[in-house]
Amino acid sequence: MHELLALLSDGVFHSGERLGEVLGVSRSAVWKRLLLLEKSTGLRIHKVRGKGYRLEQSLILLDVERLRRDLPYPVVVLGEVDSTNAEALRHLATSMVDEPLLFVAEQQTAGRGRRGRSWVSPYGVNLYLSLLLPVADSSRLEGLSLLVGLAVRRGLVACGYPDVELKWPNDLLLSGGKVAGILLELAGDPADGCHVVVGVGINVNMQGSQAGIDQSWSSLVGDAVQPVDRNLILIAVMRSLHELLSAGAAGRFSACRAEWEAAHAWQGRAVCLSTGPQSIYGVVLGVDERGALRLMCEGEERVYSGGELSLRLSNDS
């Protein structure tokens, strides 16, 4: 199946006869494989008499050899998975993990976001990844999601996206829409050594309307015709994260606090912080050294962190 998809990934027409020759099967078998490919991936294949078959849009598939060569972490590349975070946790349940291990997939069937939301994960379009990270010192967990966000931003800036901004606590924005999100899941006791799964989703080549997304979103490709190379983005982001986690400050957020605040989209803006049934209004002052949000509320500075918090602009309907 992957070989057929690789042949079609350029987005141009290929005759059934030619596909059969390359794959070593009959035209009838090609047709059956195309039907199975559509069903298993959700990709649309255009069929035109006299021309053949092509994907609705061209794809740049994950390049396993390139990723294994250029990534700073060992990587497991999956075709389809329910959730890369879930896969990382399953791996941890059956294996000893002493070093970071990266999981990345072409498609998620049950991608997870914060606050119980689903993460729409079409095949071969975006990046869905989870880094399984051993944590010996629980203080390294403070502000980790913000540190990861900063690493993602650094990687995207290095790839030519200087306008990407951060949004407390776990999002990245581009042109006002969500372009990436982060989900951390903890396994084990922080007081006795544990593991954290760092899940990241980045909208790379997603275009058009998308069922299941209930908020404003954007993607790196924008209105461009040619797709963005997801391998390039993944390598840049992971190298940035590796650099931050290995820095002289031992990967602690406090050393990067000023840089994070400088890239915060809502710094100095009037916002509403929702904590379950309660709504708190204030102006964003920044974050503290642990990554907690600092708000000026009725002339008094207050600090908020943890729990199921949601932040939006106060005039945002």
Could you write out the DSSP letters of every residue in 86-97? HHHHHHHHHS--
Is residue 19 located within the same domain as residue 93? no
Q: How many domains does the chain have?
A: 3
Stated as kind and residue range, the H or E segment containing 172 is: strand 171-174
Could you check whether the bond before residue 169 is cis, i.e. omega within 30 degrees of 0?
yes
Distance, CA of 290 to CA of 253 (rounded, Å): 7
Active site residue 312: yes
Q: Which stretches of 77-118 are DSSP H helices?
A: 84-94
Is the same domain home to 215 and 288? Answer: no
Beta bridge partners of 95: none
Q: What pLDDT is stored for residue 214 in this prediction?
A: 65
Q: Which of 167, 178, 230, 252 is catalytic?
A: 178
Residue-range definition of the domain harbouring residue 253: 64-262
H or E segment and range at residue 147: helix 144-158
Burial of 108 (0-12, 13-18, 19+ CB in 10 A): buried
What is the maximum alpha-carbon separation in the chain?
75
Instruction: Specify the pLDDT at position 276.
Output: 76
Identity of residue 177? G
Between the CA of residue 96 and those of 79, 88, 90, 101, what are the distances in Å? 24, 12, 12, 11
**115 classed as catalytic:** no
**Judgement on whether residues 137 and 188 belong to the same structural domain of the protein:** yes
**For the residues of 224-263, what is the DSSP string, one character each?**
-SSPP-HHHHHHHHHHHHHHHHTSTTTT-GGGGHHHHHHT
Q: How far apart are CA 49 and CA 142, in angstroms?
A: 59
Q: pTM here? A: 0.90
At 74, is the secondary structure helix, strand, or coil? coil
Tell how far CA 224 is from the center of its chain.
20
pLDDT at 37: 84
| 226 and 308 fall within a common domain | no
Same domain, yes or no, for 76 and 154? Answer: yes
Residues 211 and 112 occupy one common structural domain: yes
Task: Judge if 162 and 75 occupy the same domain.
Answer: yes
Going residue by residue through the chain, which has 317 residues, state the pLDDT in tens, using 9 for 90 and above: 678 888 888 888 888 888 878 888 888 888 888 888 888 888 888 888 888 888 888 899 999 999 999 999 999 999 999 999 999 999 999 998 999 999 999 999 888 766 566 677 889 999 999 999 998 877 788 889 999 999 999 999 999 999 999 999 999 999 999 999 999 999 988 878 899 999 999 999 988 766 567 678 899 998 787 899 999 999 999 999 999 988 645 557 888 999 999 999 999 999 999 887 889 999 999 999 999 999 999 899 999 987 678 888 987 53
Residue 138 vs residues 7, 158, 174, 194, 241: alpha-carbon distances, Å: 47, 30, 32, 8, 18
The DSSP 8-state label assigned to residue 140 in this structure reads: G
Query: Domain with 135 in it: what CATH number?
Result: 3.30.930.10
Active site residue 39: no
pLDDT of residue 8: 82
**Per-residue confidence (pLDDT) for residue 139, from 0 to 100:** 79
Check residue 317 and give its pLDDT.
38
Specify whether 276 is located in the same domain as 236: no
Rounded CA separation 151/244 (Å): 7
Choose the catalytic residue: 33, 54, 114, 154: 114
Q: Mark whether 192 and 135 lie in a shared domain.
A: yes
What backbone phi and psi angles, to 5 degrees, belong to 78?
-115, 150
3-state secondary structure of 73: coil
Binding residue ranges for biotin: 83-85, 108, 112-114, 178
- The values of phi and psi at residue 170, to 5°, are -135, 10
